[in-house]
A and B are shown apart, each in its own frame.
Chain A
């Protein structure tokens, strides 16, 4: 079963605009990771944010984490047509025997029009 929800399910924007995707989850986490997937291919790791971090940047990506609300957001600034892909958040649960298990959201399909 999925850990949580991603919002929106689909997002269509023009090149140069910013894209924001949100992710909510249900349990206490060790970290949250964002991935990109192009058209049924493998997942590309974008960024990992740990439970004790609130914000992280990587190039045009900005991720925030609010553990009190159990939510995260991914902001892509100055989007490009090449950013067109599905974006997934995945959580690694804290404690227990979850070890390497990542629980994925259902993803946001981002389309960037040239």
Chain B
């Protein structure tokens, strides 16, 4: 079974731009969660989607948004990029509830904001 895939793997943007990251979960998984990893803050939860509905959101500004499609693929968008948004963005998929099941992570998208 193919793992979680994320595209693109690397991205360089400038301040003020926006970016869209994509995540394809493991086949049959319905829950997708997003995390931001930085050296200073570590791994922080952004949001979780299940059956196209956002079920939980972390403590991030409204510039961070996401959505999930009917095939469970998910995208996250960051608008008006800031230097501090430079990070590794990881998505994770889970079969049903992300709380009760293992979450499997993709390789991540490394975003650099100049």
Contact = CB atoms under 8 A, between A and B. Distances in A.
Interface of A: 2, 30-31, 33, 35, 40-45, 48, 88, 90, 92-93, 97-107
A35 B45 CA distance: 15
Contacts of A88: 43
Given A42-B107, A42-B108, A100 B99 contact: yes
Chain B facing A: main interface SS? strand
Nearest to B94: A100
Interface residues of B, number: 30
Contacts of B105: 35, 42-45
Contacts of B4: 42
B75 interface: no
Contacts of B55: 97, 99-100
Contact of A104 (B42, B48, B88, B101): B42
Interface in B1-59: 4, 31, 33, 35, 42-45, 48, 50, 55-56, 58
A42 B98 contact: no
A84 to B, nearest CB: 18
29 contacts: A30-B99, A30-B100, A31-B99, A31-B100, A35-B105, A40-B108, A41-B108, A42-B105, A43-B92, A44-B105, A45-B105, A92-B100, A98-B99, A99-B55, A99-B56, A100-B33, A100-B48, A100-B55, A100-B56, A100-B94, A101-B45, A101-B48, A101-B99, A102-B35, A102-B92, A102-B103, A104-B35, A105-B42, A107-B42
Given A42-B107, A98-B56, A92 B98 contact: yes
A35 B43 CA distance: 12
Interface string B63-105: 0000000000000000000000000101010100111111111
The winner among A35, A99, A100 for most chain B CB atoms within 10 A is A100
A100 B90 contact: no
A112 to B, nearest CB: 22
